[in-house]
Structure 1
Amino acid sequence: MPFDAPSTRPVRSRAAPRAIGLWLLGVAAMVWVMVALGGATRLTGSGLSIMEWAPLSGTLPPLSDAEWQRLYNLYRTIPQYELVNQGFGIEGFKRIFWLEWAHRLWGRLIGLAYALPLAWFWLRGGIPAGYKGRLLLLLVLGGLQGAVGWFMVASGFEADRTTVSPYRLVMHLGLALGLFAALTWTGLSLLRPRPAEAPPATRSIRRQAKAAAWLLVAAMLAGGFVAGNRAGLAYNTFPLMEGQLVPPGYWPMESAWANLTLDVATVQFNHRLLASLAALAALGAAFAGWRRLPPGFARRACLGLGGAVALQYVLGIATVLHAVPVWLGTLHQATAVLVLTAALLALHGLRAPERAS
């Protein structure tokens, strides 16, 4: 009996790019909330209230008075209690504990929201070709973020410290922003394939948007050093600092690295400078997009970038003028992720056509 001829019917792919794209954007939204919660824990001094890293057992809060007392006694051994919160009692400890516990619980939920659907899509063969390695890398980065978070918190237990190390804070923030960007870009790429053609002005506007995006990232990381050094509590005027454009105390140390990362006047001025340059670049890209791009996603994304940066700039000024109240500082940090989102949308909308790539 002769072999059957091979079927000419097309094989139906089980890949689900749209579902995976929406899932990744949903996880990115959870990371956005996590960044805002992180800002709130830092501003309220809650981040050092849990002195144990227990990824599994720490999921549950204290369930007895004895457990509350044990954790409170641990907290009383660190400098933050002695120098900032001495005598605030177990009720005061509970107030800062719950915010940090919610922050850590949300991180665990992000891990489940990523790992379980990834396994489901993987086993069903729903992951498009070329994306398995990237999705596994994102899983590893998410786990690394948890470890870096504890590495940051542990620095706050050292002698004479009441806050975490600025270097570790910026490392934690930078990894969170990088993870958010990777999730968002991958999700967008699955939902919006590269265009077949693009308007002639796209290339030059894309260069403008890239310059704005890199300046925005630099301003955000500089903002991490402002937060880590509590520099926002000084020089609460704008645009001048102690009556001068460049503050009198700028660059006082011999070490350039120490000036850039630890000196209050220097880190705040640098953040202001980078934010101003980023705002000008973003508004320039938005204006160019409005003038030179046809109606569509790319044009709207460029305008959105300009609007988001303008909003963040105003919030930054208000945060400085009011000496960083908790609600305003948290909003400023959360809006930084909005700005990053707008930059990613603009760059994605301005991608080179398929044949040019």
Structure 2
Amino acid sequence: MEIQQNKQNKAIVIWLFTGVAMIIVQVLLGGITRLTGSGLSITEWKPILGALPPMNEDAWKAAFEKYKEIAQYKYVNSHFELADFKWIYFWEWLHRNWARLIGVVFAVPFIYFIVKKKIDKSMINPMIVLFLLGGLQGLIGWVMVQSGLNEEDLYVSHIRLAIHFMAALGLLWYTLWFALKLSIPPQQTVSAPSLRKLSGWILGLLTLQLIYGAFMAGLHAALAASTWPTINGMWWPAGMFAQGGFLEDITHNQITIQFIHRGLAYLLTLLIAIWYIKSRVYPQLTAVRAIALLVVLLQVFLGVLTVMNSDVKIPLGFALAHQFTGMLLLMVMVWARYLTKK
């Protein structure tokens, strides 16, 4: 159904863009929980009561004892004292509570808009989809954490992490597209079928690249090779197909995953440069084309800095900046695709 634009949509647009900003923060908090190993620190899922952290020392000790029962504590963090546990607990608690806050920020204004009759029929179905995607993301997050609460797994599977990450980006993509439909009038778009097709290819490759970014984070694959432009001194690194099968190597082998992640980055940079050149004849695309080129170059630069400083430990600041620019690039290319019509 085509969404109708009108002047009364301003509050809804602000609401949606607020949601976009909050989803970005949530994804970055997810990155912190992964890189700090905090994701399994809270061993229970209490959607309402879980909003409060342990309120006294006995409650903290009880939570710590539950954490001691899982493999991550026994084989990775057995040296932890209560203060160490509180540190990782904080990041997972903040990640979960920010998700709760997003739910409130989406639900309360939605009810207000319904009561004030600011939402017309054309918006109902997209908003239902929006809430379903949000609920699905929360469910995936808990299933992912639950899968790691055992005596065998040291961390949550990087495959499940990638699913959780991409579900969040799917929600980000959908919310942004919805906001663009309400905020950009048709006369500001251009008829450019070839550019639209190219942006589609770029978004497809970027989706694959972001999946491999999640694999990189989930497996700490940057630690396998902290050199650039070569990988451990080789353009075609040794050990890329040593896991016993092609599918196994491209999804579990650290060196192979880093090789693919780098290769996709170079390919995306080339395609965006081509898109930049081809879009120069459309004045409506001046802003988005400049931002797209700038962001992809910054993204590659931050990726290089992250890898080159990952000889012992992945640098949290560079990694988060790299993740942020990846999301920013996704949003810019969604914006670019929206501005080009068939």
Larger radius of gyration: 1
> 2: distance between equivalents of 1:22 and 1:194?
19
Amino acid in the other structure paired with 1:349: L
> 2: distance between equivalents of 1:51 and 1:208?
45
Relative to structure 1, is the Cα distance of residues 14 and 273 closer, same or farther in structure 2, using a 3 angstrom cutoff?
A: closer
Aligned-pair distance for 1:150?
1.1
Query: What's the counterpart of residue 14 of structure 2?
Result: 22
1:175-190 paired onto structure 2 within 5 Å: 175-190=167-182
Q: TM-score, normalised by structure 1?
A: 0.89
Pick one of 211, 214, 218 that aligns with 1:224.
214
Aligned-pair distance for 1:197?
7.0
Aligned-pair distance for 1:196?
7.5
Aligned-pair distance for 1:29?
0.7
Query: What's the counterpart of residue 337 of structure 2?
Result: 347
- 5+ residue gaps, structure 1: 1-12, 353-357
1:39-58 paired onto structure 2 within 5 Å: 39-58=31-50
Pick one of 18, 27, 48 that aligns with 1:35.
27
Pick one of 319, 322, 326 that aligns with 1:329.
319
The answer (yes or no) to whether the contact 2:189–2:341 under 8 Å persists in 1 is no
Bigger shift: 30-39 or 245-254?
Answer: 245-254
Query: What's the counterpart of residue 65 of structure 2?
Result: 73
1:241-280 paired onto structure 2 within 5 Å: 241-280=231-270
Aligned-pair distance for 1:31?
0.2
> 2: distance between equivalents of 1:23 and 1:73?
41
Bigger shift: 178-187 or 259-268?
Answer: 259-268
Q: What value does the CA root-mean-square deviation take over the aligned residues?
A: 1.8
Q: TM-score, normalised by structure 2?
A: 0.93
How many residues are matched? 335
Amino acid in the other structure paired with 1:240: T
Amino acid in the other structure paired with 1:164: V
> 1: distance between equivalents of 2:151 and 2:270?
43
Secondary structure in structure 2 of the residue aligned to 1:161: coil
Pick one of 263, 284, 303 that aligns with 1:316.
303
> 2: distance between equivalents of 1:18 and 1:333?
30
> 1: distance between equivalents of 2:302 and 2:12?
34
Bigger shift: 15-24 or 313-322?
Answer: 15-24
Task: State whether structure 2 residue 154 is matched by structure 1 residue 162.
Answer: yes
Query: What's the counterpart of residue 145 of structure 2?
Result: 153
Query: What's the counterpart of residue 208 of structure 1?
Result: 198
Relative to structure 1, is the Cα distance of residues 45 and 196 closer, same or farther in structure 2, using a 3 angstrom cutoff?
A: closer
Q: Residues 218-238 of structure 1, C-alpha deviation per residue, up to 9 Å, x if partnerless?
A: 111111111122211111111
Q: Residues 296-342 of structure 1, C-alpha deviation per residue, up to 9 Å, x if partnerless?
A: 3x221122111111111100111111112112112211221111111
Task: State whether structure 2 residue 79 is matched by structure 1 residue 96.
Answer: no
The answer (yes or no) to whether the contact 2:189–2:339 under 8 Å persists in 1 is no
Secondary structure in structure 1 of the residue aligned to 2:26: helix
Aligned-pair distance for 1:168?
0.6
Query: What's the counterpart of residue 121 of structure 1?
Result: 113
Secondary structure in structure 1 of the residue aligned to 2:76: helix
Amino acid in the other structure paired with 1:61: P
Amino acid in the other structure paired with 1:187: A
The alignment-based identity, stated in percent, is: 36
Secondary structure in structure 2 of the residue aligned to 1:131: helix
The answer (yes or no) to whether the contact 1:285–1:306 under 8 Å persists in 2 is no
The answer (yes or no) to whether the contact 2:188–2:339 under 8 Å persists in 1 is no
